[in-house]
Amino acid sequence: MTQERKKVPVFYVPFRPIYRRGIACHWFILIRSKYSGDLNLLHHEEIHCAQMRNVGLLKYLWRYYTDKRFVAEVEYAAFKYGSKYNDRRIKHILEHNYNVPIDVIEEVVG
């Protein structure tokens, strides 16, 4: 199931938003300036904005920082539909960049 992407303001900044190339914050997206042409990154963050609208910002943030399965689910959807990575690459990213346990990844991704 794809997430509905709604246009939100995008701000290109000269610094790393948190520790990533970009970050979604429900009402807007911050992307590091040097990635301004990366449409996959933009689409990935747009998916996160849609997820936040669907779940609710506070609930989304709480679950994102406390529930590894939720992280796997929302990141899998954002990578799958936002950047078109294959499942193998997404599994690698979830395990190594998001510290999601491999058993949780297998449950979510298959």
Looking at the structure of the chain, the number of domains it has is: 1
pLDDT tens sequence across 65-80: 999 999 999 999 999 9
Q: Is the pLDDT of residue 4 over 80?
A: no
Q: What is the DSSP string of the chain?
A: -PPPP----EEEESS-STTSSEEE-SS-EEEEGGGTT-HHHHHHHHHHHHHHHHH-HHHHHHHHHH-HHHHHHHHHHHIIIII---HHHHHHHHHHHS---HHHHHHHH-
Q: Quick check: is 76 in a domain?
A: yes
- Domain extent for 70: 10-109
Residue 62 falls inside a structural domain? yes
Is 4 inside any structural domain?
A: no
Q: Is 5 domain-assigned?
A: no
Tens digit of each residue's pLDDT (9 = 90 or more) over 12-70? 999 988 878 999 988 999 999 999 999 999 999 999 999 999 999 999 999 999 999 99
Asked if residue 104 belongs to a domain, the reply is yes
Is 77 a domain residue? yes
Q: Is the pLDDT of residue 5 over 70?
A: no
- At residue 95, the pLDDT reads 95
